[in-house]
Amino acid sequence: MHKLFVSPEDINGNTITVTGEDVEHLHALRMREGERIFISDGEKTVYDAALSQMRKNSAVFEIKSQRPFENEPQTDITVCIALLKGGACEDVIKQSVELGANRIIIFSSSNCIAKEREKDGKYYKTARQAAMQSGRDTVPKLLTGFSFDEMLEELKKAEISLFFHEKATEHFYDVLEKNSLPRSAAFAVGPEGGFTDTEAESAEKNGIKVVFMGKRILRAVTAPLCALSVIAALYDRQR
């Protein structure tokens, strides 16, 4: 069954009003009155709803039943990625959504080659599509335009905060393994040119664990994938 993502304000008593691009999507699907769909409020509830009225620019659904989120990891995961060249940030966004990230932060750092970021709308669309395709109950939050220091501030708020630097001496698995089920975990991966040693020192001074992930150098798109897979395997195993 299809799933749409709305905001809590779109829900009024027993009805949900869908507007914007989703309406075009519903028209394209040739959805008929009475047909059922899942609608997430993006916060904690997924509704099973039936189409009651289809207009040109909006669609009204009637709520039939509801359930709390069940496809979300218990650990709140934040992925911090540097601004990357080409469509690489979008690739990381897609993969992060599939692997359960809750928040994706895009920041710039000293060695960033890419200067321009995509329009936020494009990133959001990518995240939304990935969320639909992978059966997420919510679309992860996208925070863009962060400086390196602003990113560190967010990174250190998590119960486990990791900063990936290939010269580090502590392996990230050893840090993760010590925690059975953290409330939150966050990590940062550098740009194609890597983090500078000064940036790594700054992370360390902020109490963030500077870690490595193996003997080989992974690309900026591969490193988050590796970190997320390990986090999912350790902390997100329930059916």
Nearest-approach distance from CB 8 to ligand SAH, in angstroms: 36
195 touches ligand SAH (CB under 6 A): yes
Total residues at the site for ligand SAH (CB under 6 A)? 15
Give the gyration radius of the chain's Cα atoms.
20
**C-alpha dihedral (151, 99, 190, 109), degrees to nearest 10:** -30
If the CB atoms of residues 73 and 190 are measured against ligand SAH, the closer one turns out to be 190
Which residue from 178, 177, 137, 162 is spatially nearest to 212, judged by alpha carbons? 162
The single-letter DSSP state of residue 207 is: T
Nearest-approach distance from CB 191 to ligand SAH, in angstroms: 7
Which residues, at least 6 apart from 70, have a Cβ–Cβ distance to it below 8 Å? 46, 137
Interacting span for ligand SAH (CB under 6 A) from 26-34, 56-64, 201-209, 215-223: 215-223
If the CB atoms of residues 140 and 194 are measured against ligand SAH, the closer one turns out to be 194
Nearest-approach distance from CB 161 to ligand SAH, in angstroms: 14
190 touches ligand SAH (CB under 6 A): yes
The Cα 20–Cα 210 span in angstroms is 43
By CB under 6 A, name the one of 101, 152, 158, 220 that touches ligand SAH. Answer: 220
Chain positions 32 to 71 lying near ligand SAH, rule: CB under 6 A, are none
Interacting span for ligand SAH (CB under 6 A) from 13-21, 98-106, 128-136, 211-219: 211-219
Nearest-approach distance from CB 168 to ligand SAH, in angstroms: 6
By CB under 6 A, name the one of 214, 229, 233, 237 that touches ligand SAH. Answer: 214
140 touches ligand SAH (CB under 6 A): no
Chain positions 149 to 188 lying near ligand SAH, rule: CB under 6 A, are 164-166
For the record, the structure tokens of 154 come out as 């967010």
213 touches ligand SAH (CB under 6 A): yes
3-state secondary structure of 177: helix
Residues 191 and 224: beta-carbon distance below 8 Å: no
The Cα 68–Cα 150 span in angstroms is 33
3-state secondary structure of 94: helix
In this structure, is the dihedral angle defined by the CA atoms of residues 181, 190, 106 and 97, taken in order, positive or negative? negative
For the record, the structure tokens of 135 come out as 């059966």
List contacts with ligand SAH (CB under 6 A).
164-166, 189-190, 193-195, 212-214, 217-218, 220, 223
